[in-house]
Amino acid sequence: MENKTVERDRYLSFEGIQCNNNADQLIIMLESALNQGKGLSQWHTYFKTKRHQQKKFGHDNLHFIGNQMNPLYSYFKQCNELDAIELLYKIEQECC
């Protein structure tokens, strides 16, 4: 019996890709790191402002992540949050 890994291709279909669930999980990781006081205080102010804007305009978490990809990478790298970086990369590749 062959054991094949299924490659997901967002350009063909989003079927089987958990974009919204992964985005929600990444936001939980972001909020957790911020609540623990990780990273420079400038990041806390930055993300507080951006999350407020997100809620004000009614954007979902995937939209937020797509717009904040580089700042999120920088913040998570500064905090050495390797699981978050891995998930962010997965979201970038599969969903953005």
With 0.75 as the threshold, say if the pTM is over it.
yes
Query: What pLDDT shows up at residue 7?
Result: 58
What residue segments make up the domains of the chain, in order of their start? 19-95
Q: How far apart are CA 29 and CA 87, in angstroms?
A: 10
End-to-end alpha carbon distance in the chain:
34
The CB density around residue 61, as the number of other CB atoms within 10 Å, is 21
Do 51 and 59 meet the contact criterion of CB atoms below 8 Å apart?
A: no
Q: Across the 96 residues of the chain, what is the mean pLDDT of every consecutive 10-residue run?
A: 52 65 97 98 98 97 97 98 98 91
Q: Where would I find the beta strands (DSSP E) of 24-63?
A: none
